[in-house]
Chains A and B, each alone.
Chain A
Amino acid sequence: MQRFPCPFCGPRPETEFHFMGEAGKIRPKTTQAISDAEWATYLHSQRNEKGTVREVWMHLTCGEMFIMIRDSVTMEVLGTETLRKDAS
């Protein structure tokens, strides 16, 4: 079993994590008119890269979401980043 590093809890078994989606997708502003194509792209299109990927994952046991950078071919984890900003 592979271990993924939660930036809050440290390395934990991969079954504790859930893939949420690709990082960097921005929801179109729904206060303005959005074309069907734009909305469909936001909902469904994926970069689905071969190689280095930036993804949002959730550590189910602590409930925190974070960014994981990994290689989709070798499955090596290259780093993680918290999504939380420092309160200060």
Chain B
Amino acid sequence: MGAYSAWSVFKEGLRDGRGWRQAWRTPTPKKHYDVVIIGGGGHGLATAYYLTKNHGITNVAVIEKGWLGGGNTGRNTTVIRSNYFYPESAALYDLSVQLYEGLSKDLNYNVMFSQRGNLVLAYSEHEMEMAARQYNAMRLNGIDAELLGPNEVRKMAPILDFSDTARYPIHGGVNQPRAGTGRHDAVAWGFARAADQAGVDIIQNCEVQGFVMEGGRCVGVETSKGEIGAGVVGAAVAGHSSVIADLAGYDLPITSYCLQAFVSEPLKPILDTVVISPAFGTYVSQSDKGGLVIGGGLDRVPSYAQRGNMPVQEAVLGGLVEMMPALAKVKLLRHWGGIVDVTPDSSPIIGPSGVDGIYLNCGWGTGGFKAIPAGGYLLAHCLATGEHHEISKPFNRSRFETGQLVDESAASGIPH
């Protein structure tokens, strides 16, 4: 399989694309791997890729019960940002943004990271004060940020309601220029292809049904395709983290909820940034195809059903229409839900699970997509060295015992 390039597209165009080969193999699982990763979403595939790239470990399997990127990686609203309040979070999410910045080249796969900004709107004096606080925190954390007044917001997003009759006039906002959106499927496929080329076995339609324990240490997984031995196991299964934890015998401070998203019919370009309003609980961006990609808060009922309920739909879409009344008659094209793993402090859990030989990458809650490269990078570091990377240290699960939480639930834009 050759490298993708403008030249290869041109060349294949001349011969009806007959030279394209499948992007990754469909191998039968071996008896034993140095590392087995459960979950073939973005985080699992990124972990496999960074194991090969940063640590030279290539005897790796990624086990996925469904198909690649069929969970939250294919269900999110593709926003990538690092506008966090606490230094620990800023370091974590900005590692991700930095990795995303070079990812297309790194993977030889266009992940379409478009750094179009992420504008958090302020609709009152109080929100404006919070915006200034957010701006200051971001600058102290070394993250790019701009504090904007109403006129600057209007320049960035004229589709917002600036009329005299607006129920809530816009006071300003905070923008992170380096934030933006990516192509979610391409992130999964790009990592899968690059990992596969480095020798990683990606095994789809293979469900983990149990763990093989030996002297208190996990030495493998039982799957629907038989037993697979493992030097060490990494679990990156998002909303199903508690299900895996139950099989392995550790507990987690996680509640699974449904998070919904919406996409509208394609429109002409009306919005070239991501706008989010904490007050309305809605955020929106416009995809390259013209559809508005709309998201909001969590459903209020703990759930493993990958579909949402009506009250949240009403709140999110009502908020959108209040922000941009011009969109009131736009039709929705699709609507869906994914199951997210929410921790008490809305920060992820990375590192040892509590059972010897199993490491975690979970608890990303509503914001896992933006963190895919960092989550993979840091879990790979844990799996390869048995120790934390400096950036993942604060996210060890022991923080729930020591009380040293990284409480982003109060600091983020949307209620978690």
B residues in contact with A88, CB < 8 Å: none
| Cβ-based interface call for A82 (8 A) | no
Contacting residues of chain B (295-316) with chain A, CB-CB under 8 angstroms: 300-305, 309-311
| CB nearest to B405 among chain A residues | A44
Cα distance A74–B309 in the bound complex, in angstroms: 12
Q: How large is the interface on A (under 10, 10 to 19, 20 to 34, 35 or more residues)?
A: 20 to 34
Q: Which of B242, B253, B310 contacts A49 (CB 8 A)?
A: B242
Cβ–Cβ contact B254 & A43, under 8 A: no
Cβ–Cβ contact A75 & B303, under 8 A: yes
Cβ–Cβ contact A19 & B305, under 8 A: no
Cβ–Cβ contact B301 & A19, under 8 A: yes
Cβ–Cβ contact B309 & A73, under 8 A: no
Residues of B within 8 A of A (CB-CB), count:
23
User: Given A14-B301, A73-B305, are A45 and B253 neighbors across the interface (CB < 8 Å)?
Assistant: yes
| Cβ-based interface call for A37 (8 A) | yes
Contacting residues of chain A (43-64) with chain B, CB-CB under 8 angstroms: 43-51, 53, 55
Q: Is the interface of B mostly helix, strand, loop or mixed?
A: mixed
Cβ–Cβ contact A40 & B252, under 8 A: no
Cβ–Cβ contact A50 & B304, under 8 A: yes
Contact bitstring B59-90, A, C-beta under 8 A = 1, else 0: 00000000000000000000000000000000
What is the count of residue pairs linking A and B with beta-carbon distances less than 8 angstroms? Answer: 67
| Cβ-based interface call for A32 (8 A) | no
Cβ–Cβ contact B400 & A19, under 8 A: no
User: Given A1-B311, A36-B401, are A72 and B303 neighbors across the interface (CB < 8 Å)?
Assistant: yes
Binding site for B on A (CB under 8 A): 1-2, 14-15, 18-19, 36-37, 40-41, 43-51, 53, 55, 72-75
Binding site for A on B (CB under 8 A): 240, 242-243, 246, 251-256, 300-305, 309-311, 344, 400-402
Instruction: Name 17 A/B residue pairs within 8 A (Cβ), A-sorted.
Output: A14-B300, A36-B401, A40-B401, A45-B251, A46-B252, A46-B255, A48-B254, A49-B242, A50-B242, A50-B304, A51-B304, A72-B256, A72-B302, A72-B305, A74-B305, A75-B301, A75-B309
Closest 6 CB pairs of A and B: A44-B253, A48-B242, A40-B401, A45-B251, A1-B310, A50-B304
